[in-house]
């Protein structure tokens, strides 16, 4: 039987989790100029050994692959050295069997209690982030199990502080809490620059109106509508809902040069409403003049009606002898086939 020392069969901790059915690590590598490093008696890299360029610690380049020369039956001790059928690779030497407590897994002698690729049984591989402890896959110290993986809740942005607690876009996880970069502010939905972000301008809850930009934390309206009223950009010079001031509503009237105005000549704005000062007895000539109860307003002046034919009807002096709407008295209306003559509604009036 070939050399089969128990102390030479122990698999180095640096290789736990590296074994596979072919004992290859298929990461690309840069070939090292130096020869393969020597290994110690326990199968781990010797004191003078340095990791081969491009390969994980304890692996060596063979062609385009990184392999474990201490346990790969296809490259046992050296690249291309293949153990015979029925032999195993132990500490870089081909042997007929493994000694206890090691087990033969695909031609390599492994410790099922610590080997992450063969944890508790051959080919029972742990997750890449797990290690094998007493034949059971477990998370390394400082990591926590989460959805069949091992995570660090102190720094993992997808599981920050707790499994499944994902930080928002732009955030990182520090000391179990989601945080934003120093120049950004944390708001619902992510990290934002409240100095320039139209959706979070100055404060998380402030949204600039359409067309406005955020400058220095303030919403700024465009030139055509330069004034900000609530969440709306307006022109206080012409906007009838915000005329001269955000709180002034001209109702249905016009806004001209920041002041409410009436649409028709002969009207005057009185207490927010347009009045016909030419004939309204409540606002005769101006907003402050009201006619007496027996007076009418004509051309902006109050006057009494001239009797007996002229009567005061609805604030106006009318001649009831020929007025179709007040024929013979206020409110007496002739129909469409009659006209008022001599204070009566008739079929026709003599010329």
Mean of the per-residue pLDDT values of the chain: 82
User: What is the DSSP secondary-structure string of 252-290?
Assistant: TSEEETTEEE-SSTTEEEETTEEEETTT-TTSSSSTT--
Per-residue pLDDT averaged across 237-258, rounded?
90
Coil, helix or strand at residue 15: helix
Residues in the chain, total: 351
Is residue 272 one of the residues assigned to a domain? yes
Is residue 329 one of the residues assigned to a domain? yes
Per-residue pLDDT averaged across 139-147, rounded?
89
Q: Which residue has the higher pLDDT, 80 or 31?
A: 80
Asked if 36 and 109 sit in the same domain, the reply is: yes
- Please say if the pLDDT value at position 338 is more than 90: yes
Asked if 118 and 166 sit in the same domain, the reply is: no
Asked if 82 and 185 sit in the same domain, the reply is: no
Asked if 111 and 178 sit in the same domain, the reply is: no
Is residue 4 one of the residues assigned to a domain? yes
Asked whether 110 and 12 are in contact (CB, 8 A), the reply is no
Which tokens belong to 327? 């024929």
Across 18-27, 60-69, 305-314, least confident range:
18-27
The backbone torsions φ and ψ at residue 7, rounded to the nearest 5 degrees and listed phi first, read -65, -20
The pLDDT value given to residue 56: 73
Where b means 16+ CB within 10 Å and e means fewer, 59-68 reads bbbbeebbbb
- Please say if the pLDDT value at position 233 is more than 90: yes
Asked whether 163 and 139 are in contact (CB, 8 A), the reply is no
Q: Which residue has the higher pLDDT, 172 or 4?
A: 172
User: For residues 176 and 340, what is the distance between their CA atoms, to the nearest angstrom?
Assistant: 95
Asked if 80 and 117 sit in the same domain, the reply is: yes
Confidence of residue 115 (pLDDT cuts 50, 70, 90): confident
Is residue 325 one of the residues assigned to a domain? yes
- Please say if the pLDDT value at position 16 is more than 60: no
Asked if 173 and 73 sit in the same domain, the reply is: no
Asked whether 82 and 74 are in contact (CB, 8 A), the reply is yes
Confidence of residue 127 (pLDDT cuts 50, 70, 90): confident
Per-residue pLDDT averaged across 231-251, rounded?
91
Pairs from 49-54 (Cβ < 8 Å, separation ≥ 24): 53/29, 54/27, 54/28, 54/29, 54/30
Q: Which of 220, 182, 188, 218 is nearest to 204 (CA)?
A: 188
Asked if 178 and 64 sit in the same domain, the reply is: no
User: For residues 47 and 79, what is the distance between their CA atoms, to the nearest angstrom?
Assistant: 21
The pLDDT value given to residue 159: 95
Confidence of residue 176 (pLDDT cuts 50, 70, 90): very high
Which tokens belong to 58? 């304890």
Confidence of residue 2 (pLDDT cuts 50, 70, 90): very low
Confidence of residue 264 (pLDDT cuts 50, 70, 90): confident
- Please say if the pLDDT value at position 7 is more than 50: no
Asked if 18 and 105 sit in the same domain, the reply is: yes
Asked if 25 and 122 sit in the same domain, the reply is: yes
Residue with tokens 């032999």, as numbered in its chain: 87
- Please say if the pLDDT value at position 32 is more than 80: no
Identify whether 173 is preceded by a cis peptide bond (ω within 30 of 0). no
Asked whether 274 and 264 are in contact (CB, 8 A), the reply is yes
**Tens digits of residue pLDDT in 185-224:** 888 888 999 999 999 999 999 999 998 999 999 999 998 8
Question: Which residue, of 171, 190, 209, is where some domain finishes?
Answer: 190
Question: Which residue, of 190, 206, 228, is where some domain finishes?
Answer: 190
The pTM score is 0.40
Is residue 254 one of the residues assigned to a domain? no
- Please say if the pLDDT value at position 28 is more than 80: no
Is residue 235 one of the residues assigned to a domain? no
Is residue 105 one of the residues assigned to a domain? yes
Domain that holds residue 76: 1-137
**In this structure, are strands 295-298 and 273-276 parallel, antiparallel, or unpaired?**
unpaired
Asked if 74 and 99 sit in the same domain, the reply is: yes
Is residue 221 one of the residues assigned to a domain? no
Per-residue pLDDT averaged across 79-92, rounded?
90
Coil, helix or strand at residue 283: coil
Per-residue pLDDT averaged across 129-158, rounded?
91
User: Number of structural domains, the chain?
Assistant: 4
User: What is the DSSP secondary-structure string of 137-152?
Assistant: EEPPTT-EEETTEEE-
Asked if 63 and 123 sit in the same domain, the reply is: yes
Asked if 59 and 112 sit in the same domain, the reply is: yes
């Amino acid at each position: 039987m070939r050399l089969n020392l128990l102390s030479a069969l122990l698999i180095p901790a640096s290789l736990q989790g590296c074994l596979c059915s072919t004992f290859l690590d298929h990461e690309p590598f840069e070939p090292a100029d130096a020869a393969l490093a020597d290994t110690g008696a326990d199968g781990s890299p010797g004191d003078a050994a340095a990791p081969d360029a491009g390969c994980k610690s304890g692996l060596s380049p063979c062609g385009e692959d990184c392999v474990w020369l201490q346990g790969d039956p296809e490259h046992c001790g050296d690249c291309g050295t293949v153990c015979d059928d029925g032999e195993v690779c132990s500490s870089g030497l081909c042997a007929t069997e493994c000694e206890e407590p090691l087990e033969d897994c695909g031609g390599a002698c492994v410790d099922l209690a610590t080997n992450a690729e063969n944890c508790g049984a051959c080919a029972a591989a742990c997750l890449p982030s797990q290690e094998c402890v007493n034949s059971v896959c477990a998370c390394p110290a400082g990591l926590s199990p989460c959805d069949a993986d091992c995570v660090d809740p102190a720094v993992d942005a997808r599981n920050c502080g707790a499994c499944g607690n994902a930080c928002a876009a732009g955030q990182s996880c520090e000391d179990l809490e989601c945080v934003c970069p120093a120049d950004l502010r944390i708001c619902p939905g992510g990290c934002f620059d409240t100095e320039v972000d139209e959706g979070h301008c100055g404060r998380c809850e402030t949204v600039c109106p359409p067309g406005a930009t955020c400058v220095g934390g303030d919403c700024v309206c465009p030139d055509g509508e330069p004034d900000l009223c609530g969440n709306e950009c307006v022109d206080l010079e012409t906007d009838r809902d915000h005329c001269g001031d955000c709180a002034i509503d001209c109702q249905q009237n016009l806004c001209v040069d920041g002041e409410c105005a009436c649409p028709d000549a002969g009207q005057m704005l009185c207490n927010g409403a347009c009045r016909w000062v030419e004939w309204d007895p409540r606002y005769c000539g101006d907003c402050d003049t009201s006619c007496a109860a027996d007076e009418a307003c004509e051309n902006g002046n109050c006057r009494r009606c001239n009797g007996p034919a002229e009567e005061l009807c609805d604030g106006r002096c009318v001649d009831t002898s020929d007025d179709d709407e007040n024929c013979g008295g206020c409110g007496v209306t002739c129909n469409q086939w009659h006209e008022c003559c001599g204070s009566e509604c008739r079929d026709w009036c003599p010329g």
